[in-house]
């Protein structure tokens, strides 16, 4: 039996800084570029982490959970009409089956979404200021700066100046959302970094997931060639109150040499899932986990292997998917049936949340059809093992001679522990 999902709206709360917006400065467009941002003030969420220069806490508001603040401010932008469509009106259902793929009907999204402006055969491409990038976004789309708080507690400022000595990290809405609370984390926006992961940016993504402290708030990353559409470094994130199918999939632990266990990071591979991938989890610190996974990502992008990343379980569990769908498309190896769906399988689709553009595809969606689409994304077993060996070498991991240990024999649904919803009304609820 299909499980229908509906969205219950969070009451909008308008902050003081939104009611009395300052006059535009710089170019007059109140953008995130060098002309406007350095002379602006934006809300600031300061997370608890290592020391860094930040404004004084004298006027800091009592700390709210990050997820509560983010969703409230996202709702505010919805009320102000900043999105291209109302994603809360989209039909969504859980498809019957062992994995519980989630299907959403979003007719016409591909016509309203910004088209890709970059080659799909190169993972690393130089930043091009002439093409769309996030410095051209209006500040009204920004929810807050996201910075290291230099204290043991998080805090929030409704208005804070932009640091003079470094480019700020900002969290902004995705104006073409695919789910409730869909936002973008843009590290060091004024540095105009191309879409490529490094250790610092990946650690920032893990810190955001940890600060949100909700198993239903995940971050994702798409490389160029794996359906990123903007060559300006960013992670995506949103709130979905059901487990992703990949989070329920069985895994097989890869035994590591004893020297590799100092960091506390464990590595497994997915089994009985349509896309081959690696799962990194644990770590003595977030920094340990970020070091290992970012090293793997750096090898992939330096060697032109497109990939997607899902940050799950409050930053404690990372799924890494090398993929080849765009390459198969270019070689004419994808069936016309799949091409006609106009689904580009990026991180959310690979994780099991599939956005469909045609009603017929939505109504006929099944675990079989989802599996058929995603199987085209996966590297072959031989190529996956080859890439895995290179990734291990780049990350300083050595596989031991022990046999791989199974952590799950099937893909039967196992309920994920659910903490009380951090917002008053809730988001997605099952009916």
Q: Check whether 420 has a pLDDT greater than 60.
A: no
* Nearest partner of 307 among 366, 239, 383, 399, judged by Cα: 383
What lies within 8 Å, CB to CB, of 364 at 6+ separation is none
- Residue-level pLDDT at 403: 62
Distances (CA, A) of 373 to 223, 325, 346, 354: 19, 10, 12, 10
Between 120 and 224, where is the model more confident?
Answer: 224
Mean pLDDT of 358-363: 96
Band of pLDDT at residue 52, cut at 50, 70 and 90 = very low
CB-based contact 213:206 (threshold 8 Å) = no
Residue 5's SS3 state is: strand
pLDDT for 134-186, tens place per residue?
999 999 999 999 999 888 889 999 999 999 999 999 999 999 999 999 999 99
CB-based contact 275:373 (threshold 8 Å) = no
Q: Look up the pTM and report it.
A: 0.87
Query: What percent of the chain has pLDDT above 70?
Result: 81
CB-based contact 169:186 (threshold 8 Å) = yes
- Residue-level pLDDT at 114: 61
Mean pLDDT of 54-70: 64
DSSP string computed for 109-120: HHHHSPPP-S-S
Report the 10 Å Cβ neighbour count for 94: 20
Catalytic residue among 182, 232, 234, 353: 234
Q: Check whether 399 has a pLDDT greater than 70.
A: yes
Q: DSSP label at 23?
A: P
Going by their DSSP bridges, the two strands 183-186 and 41-47 should be labelled as unpaired
DSSP string computed for 167-216: PPPEEEE-SS-SSTT-EEEETTGGG---S---HHHHHHHHHHHHHH--TT
Measured in whole angstroms, how far is the alpha carbon of residue 207 from the centre of its chain?
A: 13
What lies within 8 Å, CB to CB, of 405 at 6+ separation is 252, 253, 255
pLDDT for 342-358, tens place per residue?
999 999 999 999 999 99
pLDDT for 267-316, tens place per residue?
999 999 999 999 999 999 999 999 999 999 999 999 999 999 999 999 99
Give the residues across from 256 on adjacent strands: 399
- The structure tokens 């890709």 sit at 116
Band of pLDDT at residue 21, cut at 50, 70 and 90 = very low
Report the 10 Å Cβ neighbour count for 279: 23
Q: Check whether 5 has a pLDDT greater than 90.
A: no
Burial of residue 42 (CB within 10 Å: 0-12, 13-18, 19+) is: buried
Query: What percent of the chain has pLDDT above 90?
Result: 74
- Residue-level pLDDT at 424: 35
Domains plus CATH for the chain?
37-51+62-395 (3.30.428.70)
Residue 74's SS3 state is: helix
234 tagged catalytic = yes
Q: Check whether 25 has a pLDDT greater than 80.
A: no
């Amino acid at each position: 039996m299909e499980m229908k999902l509906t969205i219950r709206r969070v009451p909008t709360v308008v902050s003081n800084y939104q009611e009395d917006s300052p006059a535009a400065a710089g170019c007059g467009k109140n953008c995130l570029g060098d002309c406007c941002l350095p002379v602006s003030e934006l809300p600031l969420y300061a997370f608890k982490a290592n020391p860094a220069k930040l404004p004084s806490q004298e006027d800091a508001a009592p700390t709210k959970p990050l997820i509560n603040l983010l969703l409230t401010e996202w709702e505010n932008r919805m009320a102000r009409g900043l999105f291209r469509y109302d994603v809360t009106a989209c039909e969504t259902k859980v498809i019957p089956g062992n994995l519980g793929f989630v299907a959403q009907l979003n007719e016409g999204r591909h016509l309203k979404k910004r088209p890709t402006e970059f080659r799909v055969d190169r993972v690393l491409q130089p930043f091009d200021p002439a093409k769309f990038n996030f410095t051209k976004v209006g500040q009204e789309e920004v929810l807050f700066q996201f910075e290291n708080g230099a204290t043991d507690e998080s805090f929030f400022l409704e208005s804070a100046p932009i640091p003079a000595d470094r480019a700020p990290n900002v969290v902004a809405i995705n104006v073409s959302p695919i789910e409730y609370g869909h936002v973008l984390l843009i590290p060091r926006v004024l540095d105009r970094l191309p879409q490529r992961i490094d250790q610092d940016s990946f650690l920032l993504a893990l810190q955001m997931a940890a600060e949100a402290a909700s198993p239903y708030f995940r971050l994702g990353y798409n490389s160029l060639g794996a359906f990123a559409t903007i060559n300006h470094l960013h992670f995506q994130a949103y709130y979905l109150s059901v487990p992703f199918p990949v989070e329920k999939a069985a895994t097989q632990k890869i035994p590591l040499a004893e020297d590799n266990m100092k960091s506390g990071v464990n590595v497994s591979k997915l089994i009985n899932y349509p896309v081959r991938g690696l799962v990194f989890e644990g770590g003595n610190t977030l920094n340990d986990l970020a070091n290992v996974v970012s090293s793997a990502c750096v090898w992939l992008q330096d060697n032109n292997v497109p990939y997607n990343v899902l940050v799950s379980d409050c930053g404690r569990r990372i799924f890494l998917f090398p993929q080849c769908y765009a390459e198969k498309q270019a070689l004419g190896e994808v069936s016309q049936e799949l091409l006609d769906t106009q689904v580009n399988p990026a991180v959310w689709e690979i994780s099991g949340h599939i956005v469909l553009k045609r009603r017929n595809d939505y109504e006929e969606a099944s675990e079989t059809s989802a599996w058929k689409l995603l199987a085209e994304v996966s590297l072959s077993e031989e190529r996956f093992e080859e890439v895995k060996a290179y990734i291990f070498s780049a990350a300083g991991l050595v596989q031991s001679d022990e046999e791989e240990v199974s952590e799950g024999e099937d893909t039967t649904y196992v309920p994920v522990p659910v903490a009380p919803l951090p917002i008053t009304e809730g988001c997605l609820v099952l009916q």
